[in-house]
Structure 1
């Protein structure tokens, strides 16, 4: 047998996938089909539909190096607004149905979306609870939801031990999720809320959260990622200070903490820049490397792309965006297919208002009032190739017309 004991006959014994071919060989043929075509080919026969819905096919794609990378984007509260999946190869979009809704809770933001295998996790966040008092105070969430991209359904998983929003998160060894820090601050508030130092690890197979040693300092708004055996927690803010004893202002960290996943101990990451060089950590994206090399870590700051040098603990300028936008905090940064995608959103103007793209206007009605056109707006994505040191632009039209604002939005990459 071509695929051994785990062959397709064991999973789809009652079907003949392709007449004249053994089922394991037929599965290998279908595993080579690009993922965007799966929806069309499911209607060929019951056998093909069962094959494309099987986890075995996705395991086969991983084994033979046929995985494709996609962007998963959540513009707002996932229980109210559908998520979106973007294929950078074809420019096609696909919607993710909203996750289960709690009628008492609303306005979820500062949550984390992370992909593990063929599953997409929505973890924690800050929200408002109609049962709490006062109702205008945000509370942190412990909830964890998982979306199965193979079978296309949501399910509730075990809740975190501590509720947290705006926290660091990373995937370790493809079967463990690590989280640290966070608090209850909502994206609509400039300061305030709680900060915590606790850390937890989630065993995906056992669906269980376990306490880890706390970070030396409480921080929220931090960035997390895993490099080899280490869970890095960068930036964020600690206890807020006040200006003139009235206006609360966040005090941002210039360093971080590193957690050894095997040792279970934290060690300090020294300040990454001197006082006055930068105000805060920008958008961070981690690009996986091949041939056993460490991953490349990039940051979007103002109009620049910076690369992190682990040896010197410094950020070095890599390139400048060719199209000027207010890059932080209005843009998102993510790595796909060895390139960096800078995704623009709405930005805050100096006057504090919201600067939005021009939709254009429809003809005036009988009262002479012109209404905005409810049409999909084009999204211009700037793409940078670190190896070639070249930029290109991608013009696409997302399926939703909801505002894309990155203090509220969350995104991650997934390989399927």
Structure 2
């Protein structure tokens, strides 16, 4: 980089460019070769942190179209489309997704492309492949593979590392193995197994600085200690249903209501009855908001049609009085949400 902006030292010019929103970066690259190099440099994203212009974006992948991700910019209410994930697995689903080290990671999973004659899931029920998307150079790259192929498993970012646990392996057998990934070293290491394995899908969330593994239909939760050295089994009596963590508190949708769970106590926060007919939607927290994204409506006893959705509803629970609003719908994705996480860049 040299003479980015005439008359300004490059260090100062870089801090000026750092204040430009992420969605405009492709246009900035068209100015000159030096600007393109600056926009695609680690130094620019460090400068964004220094000047306080880092952005929280929502990353979403839906069933339609296959292997496509979009980013949502809440400040500008717009969607950004990423290059297609270059996995050879058609309709990758049941994967884990997190952000760590400033990148988006898609881990494991299997094909959701089912042969209508044989029922075969494209020959791949579970894989150990790992992909990362770097928003600086705007490219996907394949990372070190997980030690065990897995699908429908718990996956969380914890203290700069990625932890995966449980799920089903390629022989469709439930497993208790857990492992941890270091994004800086691109290495997987085994950590203690879960205490219990169950013949049901599991999910993970981070609450109070600890990873919690929840199995569908069970009230018990397995909790990883902060050092990653072992698991404990707890029974919190949490409601069953979609969950989101907002500002350190857990919110659960159940029977058409969104409830705030505080220990063994729960408080109804807002009515969400329109989602009783919707399946496959994502519920996630970002800032002081809960985002309810996509999914499908139907079929039901009155209507056998299936309607894929692309709309987004935002419920603000961080304020004294909850409010809801419609955000811009996804521009490319629709239907069942396969993956959803946040990315800070």
The TM-score with structure 1 as length reference comes to: 0.74
Q: Quick check: 1:389 aligned with 2:321?
A: yes
> CA 1:227/1:145 → structure 2, altered by over 3 Å: closer, same or farther?
same
Distance 2:141 2:342 in 1: 20
Greater fraction of residues in strand? 2
**Contact 1:327-1:344 within 8 A present in 2 as well:** no
The 5 A counterparts of 1:75-154 are 75-76=62-63, 80-102=66-88, 105-127=89-111, 136=120, 139-154=125-140
Displacement of 1:397 in angstroms is 4.0
Q: Quick check: 1:413 aligned with 2:345?
A: no
Displacement of 1:171 in angstroms is 0.9
**Contact 2:167-2:174 within 8 A present in 1 as well:** yes
Partner of residue 204 from structure 1, selected from 183, 186, 204: 183
The residue that corresponds to 2:335 in the other structure is 404
SS in 1 for 2:34: helix
RMSD over equivalenced CA pairs, Å: 2.7
Displacement of 1:184 in angstroms is 5.0
Q: Quick check: 1:180 aligned with 2:165?
A: yes
Per mean C-alpha deviation after superposition, the further-off stretch among 377-386 and 15-24 is 377-386
Distance 1:339 1:229 in 2: 20
**Contact 1:164-1:184 within 8 A present in 2 as well:** yes
**Contact 1:282-1:301 within 8 A present in 2 as well:** yes
The residue that corresponds to 1:372 in the other structure is none
Report how many aligned residue pairs link the two structures: 338
The residue that corresponds to 2:48 in the other structure is 61
**Contact 1:330-1:348 within 8 A present in 2 as well:** no
The runs of at least 4 consecutive aligned structure 1 residues that moved more than 4 Å come to: 351-354
**Contact 1:348-1:354 within 8 A present in 2 as well:** yes
> CA 1:337/1:210 → structure 2, altered by over 3 Å: closer, same or farther?
same
Displacement of 1:135 in angstroms is 6.8
Q: Quick check: 1:25 aligned with 2:12?
A: yes
Spell out, residue by residue over 1:188-230, the C-alpha distance to the aligned partner (whole angstroms, 9 max, x if none).
xxxx942211111111111111111111111442221234542
Displacement of 1:379 in angstroms is 2.2
The residue that corresponds to 1:233 in the other structure is 213
Please list every run of 5 or more consecutive structure 1 residues that lacks an aligned counterpart in the other structure: 1-11, 186-191, 238-251, 290-294, 358-376
The residue that corresponds to 1:284 in the other structure is 243
